[in-house]
Amino acid sequence: MPTNSSFQPKSPHAPNHHIMTDQQPPLTINKAAKLLGISPSVLRIWEMRYNWPKPLRHKGNSYRLYDAAAIDDLQWVVERIATGAVISELINDGKVTRDRSREVVADRTWKSLDFSGIPQPETEEGRRIRVQLEAAIRNGNAGERALAQSMAARLRPSEREKAVGAVLEMAAKAGC
């Protein structure tokens, strides 16, 4: 499938650079996710959990469509998450809260977190998800972190708590 060469991913080091103009047609979820460097499932999870983003819908097939304003908000959130912000602090009542005073500084010491005191999941899948989540937190990779959390939704509740619940709680207490 040909891609529109005018859509270039934003460099995380180029503040206030818009990756989409108002004149461009809305993007499907796959194109928007690719442009932002995240998975389409992350966008769906955010929509379900935080009632955000609120994409337009295609009249014929109900596909999600993201206009320039939505891409701008998504870009802002993705950049903040990459520097250590927590999405639940960026989204309030289904809207992006661009409160600069709450932004997290990029020099968080994620690598120093010690998850060894948290009981290990019993299943192989639970352990695999836990390892993926711990690595994502230590590396500050928001996309991988969201993916691990969404994968954990398939686990039994007690296994899910061991795989992700306690890890996320410790990361939140550390400000990650």
Q: SS3 letters for the chain? A: CCCCCCCCCCCCCCCCCCCCCCCCCCEEHHHHHHHHCCCHHHHHHHHHHHCCCCCEECCCCCCEEECHHHHHHHHHHHHHHHCCCCHHHHEECCEECCCHHHCCCCCCCHHHCCCCCCCCCCCHHHHHHHHHHHHHHHHCCHHHHHHHHHHHCCCCHHHHHHHHHHHHHHHHHCCC
User: What is the pLDDT, as a whole number, of residue 20?
Assistant: 63
User: What is the pLDDT, as a whole number, of residue 65?
Assistant: 95
173 or 30, greater pLDDT: 30
User: What is the pLDDT, as a whole number, of residue 173?
Assistant: 75
On the question of pLDDT at 33 being above 90, the answer is yes
With 0.85 as the threshold, say if the pTM is over it: no
Q: Is residue 4 part of a domain?
A: no
Name the residue range of residue 53's domain.
Answer: 27-102
What domain count does the chain have?
A: 2
User: What is the pLDDT, as a whole number, of residue 23?
Assistant: 74
Residues 118 and 135 in one domain: yes
Residues 46 and 66 in one domain: yes
Q: Is residue 1 part of a domain?
A: no
User: What is the pLDDT, as a whole number, of residue 29?
Assistant: 96
On the question of pLDDT at 4 being above 60, the answer is no
The residues, ordered by sequence, that sit 6+ positions from 89 with a Cβ below 8 Å of its Cβ are 97, 102
Which of 102, 122, 137 lies at the terminal end of a domain, its last residue?
102
Residues 119 and 148 in one domain: yes
Q: Is residue 63 part of a domain?
A: yes
Q: Is residue 67 part of a domain?
A: yes
Q: What is the CATH number of the domain that holds 59?
A: 1.10.1660.10
pLDDT in tens, 54-88: 999 999 999 999 998 899 899 889 888 887 778 88
Q: What does the pLDDT average to over 142-154? A: 76
Q: Is residue 6 part of a domain?
A: no
Q: Which range, 4-8, 54-58, 126-130, has the best average confidence (pLDDT)?
A: 54-58
Q: Quick check: 143 and 39 in contact, CB under 8 A?
A: yes
Which of 78, 102, 126 lies at the terminal end of a domain, its last residue?
102
Residues 49 and 84 in one domain: yes
Q: Is residue 87 part of a domain?
A: yes
Which of 57, 72, 102 lies at the terminal end of a domain, its last residue?
102
120 or 111, greater pLDDT: 120
Q: Is residue 163 part of a domain?
A: yes
Residues 93 and 147 in one domain: no
Residues 120 and 92 in one domain: no
Residues 35 and 92 in one domain: yes
Q: Is residue 117 part of a domain?
A: yes
Residues 115 and 92 in one domain: no
Percent of the chain with pLDDT over 70: 75
